[in-house]
């Protein structure tokens, strides 16, 4: 192999190792970023849906208390608006099931809400239930708490998943940097070996040739330089020997 090819191949190998390290690390980090972002978006959407359902339930509870006070129109307006908000939030949670077991939590929300809704759908104003706090404390408020608890459980599930995702992010980032570290370390070792080979096959022959020429100039003895490789340096030694022979003639 010619000297130019040796040097060029060494630099190409070193560049290829660094390129592989960079591409590998970029790919791993971009993959982590995309997957983590998707998980966080899905969980955040479910958390917001759960919060909206809890807020809607609390507004319905306020509307029921207004019905107990005999304020039919105001109470029904608040309850109707809250019911619509609850159903929109529930549909968001239903269409965003991404965690194993999350569907059971969503089903529990609707089951408890149906029980609660059947209570306030019945007429309150103008009936025996108007002003009946015992009915509210015995039937309505416990149903409200069960529905609210079901929504809170869904929110807690997604909060825990987001926390676990953030905890796993550190270990995944560490694994993503490992290929780059290994490749850089390998490139460093290769650079040392490459430097040794350059010194062995390039620098040392040049020093031998320089010493041989100096010895010839000092003593006039024949030039004796042995180059083991067949490359440009070997050609250079041959040319110097030819030049010296012609100069003697």
pLDDT tens by residue, the chain, 249 residues: 666 666 777 777 777 777 777 777 777 766 666 566 666 677 888 889 999 999 999 999 999 898 888 888 898 899 999 999 999 999 999 988 888 888 999 999 999 999 999 888 877 766 777 778 888 888 899 999 999 999 999 999 988 887 777 677 666 666 667 777 777 777 778 778 878 877 777 777 788 778 777 777 777 666 666 766 766 777 777 777 777 777 766
Helices (H), the chain: 3-68, 72-94, 102-121, 133-135, 141-198, 204-219, 232-248
For residue 37, the model assigns a pLDDT of: 65
Distance CA 239, CA 134 (A): 115
For residue 89, the model assigns a pLDDT of: 94
- Tell how far CA 49 is from the center of its chain: 25
For residue 125, the model assigns a pLDDT of: 65
Token pair for residue 97? 């099931």
Q: Which CATH number fits domain 29-176: 1.10.101.10, 3.10.310.30, 1.20.120.240, 3.60.15.10?
A: 1.20.120.240
Domain borders along the chain are 29-176
For residue 145, the model assigns a pLDDT of: 94
For residue 249, the model assigns a pLDDT of: 63
């Amino acid at each position: 192999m010619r000297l130019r090819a040796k040097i060029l191949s060494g630099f190409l190998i070193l560049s290829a190792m660094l390129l592989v390290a960079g591409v590998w690390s970029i790919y791993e980090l971009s993959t982590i970023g995309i997957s983590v972002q998707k998980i966080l978006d899905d969980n955040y959407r479910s958390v917001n849906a759960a919060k909206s359902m809890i807020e809607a339930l609390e507004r319905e509870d306020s509307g029921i208390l207004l019905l107990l006070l005999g304020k039919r129109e105001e109470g029904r307006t608040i309850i109707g608006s809250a019911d619509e908000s609850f159903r929109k939030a529930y549909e968001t949670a239903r269409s965003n099931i991404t965690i194993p077991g999350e569907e059971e939590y969503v089903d529990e929300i609707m089951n408890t809400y149906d029980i609660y809704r059947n209570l306030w759908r019945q007429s309150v104003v103008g009936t025996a239930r108007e002003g009946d706090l015992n009915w509210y404390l015995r039937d309505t408020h416990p149903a409200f708490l069960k529905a609210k608890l079901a929504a809170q459980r869904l929110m807690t599930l997604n909060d825990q998943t987001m926390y676990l995702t953030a905890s796993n992010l550190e270990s995944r980032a560490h694994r993503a940097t490992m290929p780059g570290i290994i490749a850089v370390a390998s490139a460093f070792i290769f650079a040392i070996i490459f430097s040794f080979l350059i010194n062995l096959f390039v620098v040392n022959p040049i020093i031998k040739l320089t010493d041989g020429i100096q010895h010839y100039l000092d003593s006039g003895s024949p030039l004796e330089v042995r180059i083991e490789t067949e490359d440009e340096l070997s050609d250079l030694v041959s040319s110097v020997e030819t030049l010296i022979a012609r100069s003697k003639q």
